[in-house]
Structure 1
């Protein structure tokens, strides 16, 4: 047998390099009496820690350790009528520099009549050059109760990181009984022709953390003043609270990751009657 040695000369076309991509899919269905279905594939995993006295919990894990361009994660959580579930993540999600394309994340939540779902993932850290396309779709039935908290960190201040290039699209679509209830969209792109939304006084004004908390319950508006009081005076935070039509919305701009975490802990401690999942304190 003869081996042939091939020598590539300048100008010789080379086959494209195929990069390994992260693919993950996780789904959980919670009945009023406990777990009804659990599915996980690829890098997406779900842990169910033992809980005492509160709703069952589902802890999301991305075993890949982060996402970059071309990766995709799909998560779905459904709570049957009368059930309750808290969904969180084991740690912050990291979105690394993209070599092409955006990381895609699709989260789909369904909450039955009389049921409750708390969607409480920990922070998403965006590195320089990151590209993320994320969408949250929520379907509520009847008197379902829903709480969501999402947050971004633009680089890590302790490491001296700055963001010069970024492509971020984050969308929330929430419906109740088929009718639109709440829509939100955040689009940030850097560099951007003479303006820098991360440092522009009319945008993030140099803050490295951005957080959103949305509560949809019959008593949401009644918690408005208490929530303002809970987060007022916290160092390194700028915030705004609004309550209307059974919804309570909080926006947080934070100086750094520690200030962002303080604000989220204070806010969630006020609007929730149960302790936060233990992973939030690790």
Structure 2
């Protein structure tokens, strides 16, 4: 018969794993346009990362949905996504559902997701669903965009801390979010955000002001930036209840930000910004991925 202390230790042993836990998965996609229509000519994968078949709702533009069947990151997960777009290619990439970073269960082993986008004289739209960071998660989200030549790009990122609607705030754990964008090797945007559960930054006025959802959209590849900034500011309310939107332009980038408590509101606002920006930046009218309607 186990003593209470022995029983607790046994339960702990059953629910945790070693500090060396490491589950890697990778996906490398390549796009080109040898005869005008973009094709996905390369797909290398390892582990649970896949794509559905390419869709062509716009004719020559390749729409791709990235799939991670487990549905979220657990301790030791290490996802690597590499996207390469060659000359004249045009790819739009999204995900069918929100990403998740679950509670760490392996001696604080970090959950990692790395996304590298290399765009050469091409057009690329990176529009994933939001990422939900569960209480107790230990995660790193790292997105690096390398643009070359006449590349045009619109990218979006939304992150949600905790699950306040279920009374499960982000009170413990840690999350690091990195976003970098370069054009021909020149850094245009370098951001790094580190937060821990109950971090004072969560409530600080110059930081999150108690908000649990943040979002960023960046666009590069147009000379009509001043006009677009005015249009975006007219379309997006600076403040609506507890939600804030801001629009800025710096170093040839248009940056739209959201801060609030509603991931759906963040997606609606940033997708509206995408619809306004796409004709000028990408040169095509908006064509939302079909998966967004489900």
5+ residue gaps, structure 1, are: 1-9
Aligned in 2, Cα 1:281/1:199: closer, same or farther, shift over 3 Å?
farther
How many Å separate the matches in 2 of 1:28 and 1:162? 36
From 264, 270, 276, give the equivalent of 2:288: 276
From 109, 112, 118, give the equivalent of 1:101: 109
Aligned in 2, Cα 1:280/1:220: closer, same or farther, shift over 3 Å?
farther
Structural mapping, 1:27-106, within 5 Å: 27-32=28-33, 33=37, 34-53=39-58, 55-99=61-105, 100-106=108-114
Number of equivalent positions: 267
- RMSD of the alignment, in Å? 2.3
Aligned: 1:246 with 2:252 = yes
Show the counterpart of 1:142: 149
Structural mapping, 1:5-24, within 5 Å: 17-18=17-18, 22-24=23-25
Moved over 3 A (4+): 16-22, 233-236
How many angstroms does 1:270 deviate by? Answer: 1.7
Show the counterpart of 1:25: 26
How many angstroms does 1:234 deviate by? Answer: 5.0
Show the counterpart of 1:231: 236
Secondary structure, aligned partner of 1:101: coil
How many Å separate the matches in 2 of 1:281 and 1:237? 24
Show the counterpart of 2:281: none
How many angstroms does 1:266 deviate by? Answer: 2.0
How many angstroms does 1:211 deviate by? Answer: 0.2
TM-score norm. by structure 2 comes to: 0.83
Secondary structure, aligned partner of 2:202: coil
How many Å separate the matches in 1 of 2:25 and 2:173? 23
Secondary structure, aligned partner of 2:71: coil
From 246, 263, 266, give the equivalent of 1:260: 266
5+ residue gaps, structure 2, are: 1-5, 279-284
Aligned in 2, Cα 1:22/1:276: closer, same or farther, shift over 3 Å?
farther
- For residues 50-100 of structure 1, give each alpha carbon's deviation from its aligned partner in whole angstroms, at most 9, with x where no partner exists: 222262112111111110221110001111011100111111001111122
Show the counterpart of 1:159: 166
How many Å separate the matches in 2 of 1:91 and 1:49? 17
How many Å separate the matches in 2 of 1:137 and 1:261? 21
- Give the stretch that moved more between structures: 122-131 or 57-66: 57-66
TM-score norm. by structure 1 comes to: 0.87
